[in-house]
Structure 1
């Protein structure tokens, strides 16, 4: 009888322990699932939930604030996610916040991450729908990484070929790196460029000094740029030079017109210079005039010896002789 009572007590103890463990497990799981916490419902609509399941966690600013309550199909091909979020964080989540699908670790369970929101927007209310932000597609990322790996392999092979050619002295770079003569020439070229750079710098310095000296007080450039009396005088001189140039141009035009008239035979001067027939007539006339003048001189010389005028010239000679005495 005692043994039966003892066994009953032991069984009762084990049953009690089992009940306690069960209750603790339920409480623990309920706490993790936020079953016994006052919560509000929020929703978000995604094109693809990427393996998200009911019961997955909801995170906000790195803190777990709820769980995924339901997953329903929505519209034609979208999925609506119903979230159970703790009421105590309601005031921190804004209506313009966004929800996206993340991962708990690199290869962990999928989670819902709520982020963003501005203080200008009011806090969410029970039943509000958040804007869904589609996450990065890991399959596409892996495909892109695979393609990048192929490209990297290709680049590595090309670099291997290029470095081999350079080591063998092929191409310009290979020749520069392996040909000592070419390397020396290249070095000399760099030295010449450096010398040219120094010379250019020296020339610029000298030009700077010259410009400074030209702008010193007392120089012509300083007077031209600063003296208020010199510039008007210079301007007047330039105006006079311009006027003289215009007069010279006009004189040149007049001389050109005159020379053109002298080359023509429709005027007296041009006829004298260009008409040979007229020149011959004029020459003959001048010859005749010269001959007539010579004859007239001879006649005048003989006039005192002619009879009608002999007495008159004798009287004139006596009168001149008397005046001389």
Structure 2
């Protein structure tokens, strides 16, 4: 009887220790803590931790180097002091001039501390150092600080959503793109025609100049003819030749000449 009770007690103790060990391991691993590592502590003071909690991740260049160990109020200061427990091996990658800021994992995810690396040529920070806080660039934090100004951003997003939803109905986006394509082709044709007209106009300048030269030459010829210069000018301006031609083709002299020709023909016929 006593032997059975002792065995049950041993089993109970063994099971209890095993459960505690398993739970401890899960807790340590869930908090991203190594079981047999040395740690250093770095500190930072924030005016607002934005929901940062104990166990939150501390990241350096995207690599998890530790966790938040403790958050406490600073006496006589409107600030919160954050104790960061860093794996000792990563401390040599944190240089003087490094800064910290609170960021968000995902759009609405958990908060974590991001260590902005300093100059690698600087000295390493030592255990217990306090790192300066960088001006926050977290989107949600910036929006919350802007207050009413951020509401305008959401209004714009809402209007863009409505516009997009309207364009998606009845394939309006496809129609719009098709119209833009056709308009682009029409503009291309207009541009090509304009260039062609400009080219033709440029060629037309040369043709007009040649035409002007031809007219000037014609005027010179007519001027010389009018002055009686040259053979044609002499013929046109000679009054004697004019009278002879007139007597041949017109007036009483032409009648007499015709009569003499008729008379001579009749006489030859009688003979």
Normalised by the length of structure 1, the TM-score is 0.46
Q: Which runs of 5+ in 2 are unaligned?
A: 145-149, 207-271
1:154, distance to aligned residue in structure 2 (A): 6.5
Which residue in 2 is equivalent to 1:43? 43
Answer yes or no: is the 8 Å Cα contact 2:99–2:118 preserved in 1: yes
Any conservation in 1 of the 2:102–2:111 contact (CA below 8 Å)?
A: yes
- 2:58/2:66 contact within 8 Å kept: yes
In the alignment, which of 7, 10, 14 is matched to residue 8 of structure 2? Answer: 10
Q: Deviations over 1:108-165 (max 9, x none)?
A: 43211112221121111112121212242526278465223233157559989xxx9x
After superposition, the CA RMSD in angstroms is 4.1
* Residues 104 and 138, structure 2, Cα contact 8 Å, conserved in 1: no
Question: Which one of the candidate residues 121, 138, 141 is aligned to 2:140?
Answer: 138
Give SS of 1:55's match. Answer: coil
Distance 1:203 1:36, change over 3 A: farther
Query: Per-residue displacement from partner, 1:18-46 (whole Å, max 9, x unpaired)?
Result: 21221343245346345753222211122
Map 1:160-171 → 2, pairs under 5 A = none
Give the equivalent residue in structure 2 for 1:149: 157
1:117 aligns with 2:118: yes
Q: Which has the higher contact order (CA 8 A, sep 6+)?
A: 2
User: What is the deviation of 1:93?
Assistant: 0.8
Measured in 2, the distance between the counterparts of 1:113 and 1:203 equals 73
Q: TM-score, normalised by structure 2?
A: 0.54
Describe the shift of the 1:39–1:189 C-alpha distance in structure 2 as closer, same or farther (beyond 3 A). Answer: closer
In the alignment of these two chains, the number of paired residues is 186
Task: Tell whether the 8 Å contact from 1:30 to 1:36 is kept in structure 2 after alignment.
Answer: no
Unaligned regions of 5+ residues in structure 1, if any? 168-172, 178-183, 207-325
Which structure would you say has the larger Rg?
A: 1
